[in-house]
Amino acid sequence: MGIAAFFTSIPQQTLQSLLEDPEKVVGLLYPDDYEDPPNSMDVDKAWHGLHYLLTGEAEGGEEPLSLAILEGTEIGPELDFGPARYLTGEEVKAVAHALAALTPEALAQRYNPRDMQEKQIYPEIWEDDDPESVDYLLHFFPDLQQFYADAAARGDAVIHWMA
């Protein structure tokens, strides 16, 4: 198994409703019918490696790229690996713009397996001579870019969580 990162975009009105009653987050993220929320995606176990490629850090980093995967404002109860986090529509637009300015080739140049091992970037599979490790991370990047671009175009907020 392992820890995966999930994302869903929601209208601003839905976010406002969740802010008024944060317990509703659980029902949104884990509906009774077990269907994925609309406008959702995941990056499997690549979340920490992608965050590293975006920021150069294990945690935090410079906004707006630090917001794309790990940062944001906590909302709702504790889930499997901490509470969900949300980004406002304005933050989503900033993230989408910053992600659009990057290419997979530019991210590949940021791949530093030794530094990633030292910073204990999950899932700690990084090796100098293994191109599959960086390819695994880059596989998810276009989907992440598109997810944020689509959410920004709709004016949506984003909720992300680990499970």
Separation CA 7–CA 145 (nearest Å): 12
Separation CA 141–CA 161 (nearest Å): 17
**What torsion do the CA atoms of 55, 110, 97, 17 make, to the nearest 10 degrees?**
-40
- Domains defined along the chain, listed by start: 5-162 (3.40.1760.10)
Per-residue pLDDT of the chain (163 residues; tens, 9 = 90+): 689 999 999 999 999 999 999 999 999 998 877 788 889 999 999 999 999 999 999 999 999 999 999 999 999 999 989 999 999 999 999 999 999 999 999 999 999 999 999 999 999 888 766 788 999 999 999 999 999 999 999 999 999 999 9
pTM (2 decimals)?
0.94
State the residue for tokens 């637009």. 93
Separation CA 68–CA 13 (nearest Å): 21
